[in-house]
């Protein structure tokens, strides 16, 4: 037995503290292909909704859909920059600023509920169209994130879109199946309990028996609703990682969350906090892009750019268009009005890419969380991911053990003697 001192090897913190794997989300989320794909999905779903708004003539909160979303993005998501001990700001102000993505998500949920209450047909059509678009986009982004996390391999955008196209029916149905089941159970509850209670005199007598069945089925509906809502984030990563169908995505997601609820909650909270911190950096880079562009170009335009595009500020870096873009006291000719519109379009593209980062981050973080939960529950290595035949052929092949060199004939004879 060796009497030498024991050597302390390097600690693999990512293996001991598996939640640290979530720190890889930022690098995965800023991939240009993911950002471009999320931006296109965001633009398509937004402008289709704006077109539907012109048809249904919705007016929720006294504003159109375009105005509501613009206010949600510029005021809700961007927020007021606040640093502690500067201009009288406190740590509470900074915390509210840092949590802007979560606040914007809450406001978006409230706005969606308002549309379902006041403009049901618009909400229904917009939800269906958005699901069709984002099932395709989200499946491709989750596929790229899954292969990147498991194998450190980059999936080309064309191949990821092809995978999402093949799995598109499962990607669309996986969020719908729990709620279809919820509606079906609700209809059964109405048929077997609601209708008999409408019978005069007999319905009142059957109340004890019917309500025992009603609360039992109501508990089942509550479980279906909770399972469907909490499993939404893991369904597309499941299909992307396993290449399975919608039923497998639902069963795996619910099984992993129910087996490790506190672990899943901790992973989600850690990912949300990390996402909020990285989003501050993304917003800072976005503002610098607009401000430096304005300052660099404005030096050589002798005031013309200022008339078309006011200097971006921390509170509102997004330019207006047309007459709204004019600086007080300045006059624009028609050509400058056109220029202000073009500048605003490019600025809003940058704004869309900023939001696309949040979407890419959410999908990528949920994909990593799925792999971590799968390893904890099923003891499956994170390196295991579904690969198609075309992908297996292009992945690096493990080096084969070299065959021993054949000894020369003379040396072989000597060895035998």
How far is residue 365's CA from residue 95's CA, in Å, rounded to a whole number?
22
Length of the chain: 417
Q: Is the pLDDT of residue 335 over 50?
A: yes
Cβ contacts of 256 within 8 Å, gap of 6 or more: 234, 264, 370, 373, 374, 377
How far is residue 245's CA from residue 240's CA, in Å, rounded to a whole number?
10
Q: Is the pLDDT of residue 247 over 70?
A: yes
DSSP of 315-359, one letter per residue? S------GGGGPPTT----HHHHHHHHHHHHHHHHHHHHHHHHHH
Q: Is the pLDDT of residue 286 over 50?
A: yes
Count of H helices and E strands in the chain?
Answer: 19, 0
Q: Which residues pair with 235 in a beta bridge?
A: none
Burial track 301-314 (b if 16+ CB lie within 10 A, e otherwise): eeebbebbbbebee
Q: What is the pLDDT of residue 237?
A: 94
Q: Is the pLDDT of residue 324 over 70?
A: no
- Residue 249 has a CB neighbour count (10 Å cut-off) of 28
Residue 208 buriedness (CB in 10 A; 0-12 / 13-18 / 19+): exposed
Under the banding of pLDDT at 50, 70 and 90, the label for residue 62 is confident
Under the banding of pLDDT at 50, 70 and 90, the label for residue 403 is very low
pTM for the complete prediction? 0.84
Q: Is the pLDDT of residue 110 over 80?
A: yes
Q: Is the pLDDT of residue 386 over 60?
A: yes
Cβ contacts of 353 within 8 Å, gap of 6 or more: 35, 39, 286
Which residue, 307, 312, 313, is CA-closest to 293?
Answer: 312
Q: Is the pLDDT of residue 28 over 90?
A: yes
Q: What is the pLDDT of residue 91?
A: 84
pLDDT in tens, 174-213: 999 988 988 888 888 777 776 777 777 766 666 666 667 7
Q: Is the pLDDT of residue 141 over 80?
A: yes
Q: What is the pLDDT of residue 204?
A: 65
**133 in Cβ contact with 39 (< 8 Å):** no
How far is residue 312's CA from residue 344's CA, in Å, rounded to a whole number?
12
Q: Which residues pair with 168 in a beta bridge?
A: none
Under the banding of pLDDT at 50, 70 and 90, the label for residue 391 is low
For 340-361, what is the mean pLDDT? 91
DSSP of 378-410, one letter per residue? H---TT-----HHHHHHSPPPPPPPPPPPPPHH
**238 in Cβ contact with 244 (< 8 Å):** yes
> Between these two residues, 318 and 27, which has the higher pLDDT value?
27
How far is residue 204's CA from residue 296's CA, in Å, rounded to a whole number?
79
How far is residue 224's CA from residue 238's CA, in Å, rounded to a whole number?
19
Q: Is the pLDDT of residue 164 over 90?
A: yes
3-state secondary structure of 18: helix
Q: What is the pLDDT of residue 202?
A: 66
Q: What is the pLDDT of residue 331?
A: 56
Q: What is the DSSP letter of 60?
A: B
Q: Is the pLDDT of residue 404 over 50?
A: no
How far is residue 413's CA from residue 279's CA, in Å, rounded to a whole number?
73
Q: What is the pLDDT of residue 317?
A: 83
Under the banding of pLDDT at 50, 70 and 90, the label for residue 397 is very low
> Between these two residues, 310 and 233, which has the higher pLDDT value?
233
3-state secondary structure of 58: coil
Share of the chain above pLDDT 70, in %: 82
Helices within 260-300 (DSSP H only): 261-298
For 43-72, what is the mean pLDDT? 89
Q: What is the pLDDT of residue 256?
A: 93
Which residue, 240, 277, 223, 178, is CA-closest to 369?
Answer: 240
For 371-388, what is the mean pLDDT? 89
Structure tokens at 40: 């296109």
How far is residue 145's CA from residue 31's CA, in Å, rounded to a whole number?
10
How far is residue 146's CA from residue 153's CA, in Å, rounded to a whole number?
9
How far is residue 121's CA from residue 107's CA, in Å, rounded to a whole number?
21
């Amino acid at each position: 037995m060796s009497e030498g001192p024991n050597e302390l090897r390097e600690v693999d913190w990512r293996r001991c503290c598996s939640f640290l794997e979530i720190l890889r989300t930022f690098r995965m989320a800023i991939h240009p292909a993911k950002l471009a794909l999320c931006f296109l999905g965001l633009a398509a779903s937004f402008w289709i909704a704006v077109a539907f708004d012109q048809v249904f003539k919705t007016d929720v909160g006294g504003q159109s859909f375009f105005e509501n979303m613009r206010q949600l993005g510029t005021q809700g998501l961007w927020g007021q920059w606040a640093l502690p001990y500067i201009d009288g700001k406190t740590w509470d102000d900074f915390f509210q600023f840092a949590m802007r993505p979560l606040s914007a998500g809450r406001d978006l949920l409230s706005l969606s509920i308002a549309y379902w209450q006041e403009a049901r047909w618009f909400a229904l059509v917009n939800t269906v169209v958005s699901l069709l678009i984002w099932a395709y986009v989200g499946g491709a982004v989750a596929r790229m994130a899954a292969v990147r996390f498991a194998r450190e391999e980059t999936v080309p955008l064309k191949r990821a879109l092809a995978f999402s196209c093949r799995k598109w029916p499962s990607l669309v149905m996986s969020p719908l199946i729990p709620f279809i089941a919820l509606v079906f159970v609700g209809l059964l509850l109405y048929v077997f309990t609601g209708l008999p209670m409408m019978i005069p005199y007999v319905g009142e007598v059957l109340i004890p028996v019917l309500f025992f069945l009603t609360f039992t089925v109501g508990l089942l509906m509550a479980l279906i609703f909770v399972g469907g809502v909490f499993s939404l984030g893991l369904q597309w990563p499941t299909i992307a990682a396993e290449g399975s169908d919608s039923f497998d995505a639902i069963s795996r997601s619910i099984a992993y969350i129910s087996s490790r609820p506190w672990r899943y909650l901790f992973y989600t909270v850690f990912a949300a906090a990390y996402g909020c911190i990285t989003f501050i950096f993304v917003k800072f880079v976005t503002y610098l892009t607009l401000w430096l562009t304005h300052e660099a170009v404005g030096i050589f335009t002798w005031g013309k750019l200022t008339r078309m595009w006011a200097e971006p500020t921390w509170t509102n870096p997004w330019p207006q268009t047309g007459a709204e873009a004019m600086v007080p006291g300045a006059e624009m000719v028609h050509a400058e009005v056109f220029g202000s519109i073009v500048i605003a379009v490019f600025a809003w593209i940058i704004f869309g890419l900023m939001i696309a980062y949040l979407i890419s981050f959410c999908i990528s973080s949920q994909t990593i969380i799925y792999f971590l939960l799968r390893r904890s529950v099923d003891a499956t290595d994170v390196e295991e991911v579904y690969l198609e035949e075309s992908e297996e052929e292009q992945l690096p092949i493990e080096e084969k053990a070299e065959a021993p060199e054949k000894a020369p004939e003379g040396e072989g004879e000597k060895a035998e003697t």
